[in-house]
Amino acid sequence: MEKIAIVTDSLSDIPEDLIKTYGIFVVPLTINIEGVAYKDGVDLTKEVFYKLLKEGKLPTTSQVSPVEFIDVFNDLLKSYDYIIAIILSSKLSGTYQSAVIAKDMVDAKRVEVIDSRHYSLGNGFLVLQAAKMAVAGFSKEEIVQKIYDLIPKIRYIMAFDSLDYLYRGGRLPKTQAFLGNILSIKPILMNEDGELKIVDKVRGQKKVIRWIIDYMKNTGVDFKEREVGLIHTDQQEFLNEIEIALRNELGITNFIRSRASCGIGTHAGPAAVGVFFEEK
């Protein structure tokens, strides 16, 4: 049986217990705060990061370099036959391109790099699927085909208190960011082929929850048998309310819950939540 290593970046937001269970290898992005560089989740914990964010510190992120990927790939190829690296959307970071450069410099025939077109648990869902298949003994070709089939089916709804962080990080134009700062309006964003797009604006948390429930109902999917991802930056109580509503109205019982990585928090800010699911 082929030994296949599954690699991703730290912005995939997979809970630590699942990373360990499925033997996933996570390459951290760099978080820069006031001239100091930290490795996301390695020498900067989420607890410390969100405390600094609330204190008004303005972090930035740096992509994983090709050299970092080369080191990881070379090390893994000593023990594994193949590597499948599933990386956050190339439209949001140069990390994917770094992985492609590393693949060509290491062993292009034994490394597959996939642009997930997603981020956070959207990417995490794909990584978990690949890791479960690798553990179950599926071939490299079967895993890669399954991931490409899944990419267009992953959906998520994200709600923010402020879009300032997305604007500062260059992920939204100023005109759109301004909309998130008016009278407790909460912008709702969805992923559109690797980029975040504002799809609606509602006032207050109850209307956010209603919007999420209505959208998911309108998909026609029976979510009772589906795994649904829940993520927050520093909004655990609000996320708990969302989970209760999803359980009550859609009968969902299988959740993956995670607090967003420092990298996601850099661009989402301290008051964001997200719901992730397979739509089709």
pLDDT in tens, 148-159: 999 999 999 999
Pick out the chain residues at pLDDT < 70: 165-184
The one-letter code for the residue type at 71 is D
> Do 178 and 133 share a structural domain?
no
Does 37 fall in a domain? no
Q: DSSP class of residue 276?
A: E
Residue 267 lies in a domain: yes
Assess whether 177 and 229 both reside in one domain.
yes
Is residue 51 in some structural domain? no
pLDDT at 111: 98
The predicted pLDDT at position 90 comes to: 94
In a domain, 56, yes or no: no
In a domain, 234, yes or no: yes
Output phi, psi for 67, to 5 deg.
-60, -40
Q: Please give the full DSSP string across 221-272, using - where no structure is assigned.
A: --GGGSEEEEEESS-HHHHHHHHHHHHHHH---EEEEEEPPHHHHHHH-SSE
Specify the pLDDT at position 16.
96
Residues 133, 174, single domain; the answer is no
228 conformational bin, left if phi > 0, alpha if psi -120 to 50, beta if neither: beta
Instruction: Tell me, yes or no, whether 137 lies in a domain.
Output: yes
> By residue range, what is the domain housing residue 138?
4-29+64-151
pTM listed for this prediction:
0.93
Task: Examine the domain organization and report whether 161 and 225 are in the same domain.
Answer: yes
pLDDT of the residue at 166 = 66
Domain match, 188 and 274 both? yes
What is the tally of structural domains in the chain?
2
The reported pLDDT for the residue numbered 134 is: 98
If asked whether residues 163 and 144 sit together in one domain, one would say no
DSSP state of 14: -
Instruction: Answer yes or no: do 159 and 138 share one domain.
Output: no
Residue 197's pLDDT is what?
86
Q: What pLDDT shows up at residue 165?
A: 67
Are residue 12 and residue 107 in the same domain, yes or no? Answer: yes
Q: How big is the chain by its Cα radius of gyration, in Å? A: 18
Would you state the pLDDT for residue 184?
Answer: 66
The per-residue pLDDT for range 203-225, each reduced to its tens digit, is 889 999 999 999 999 999 999 98
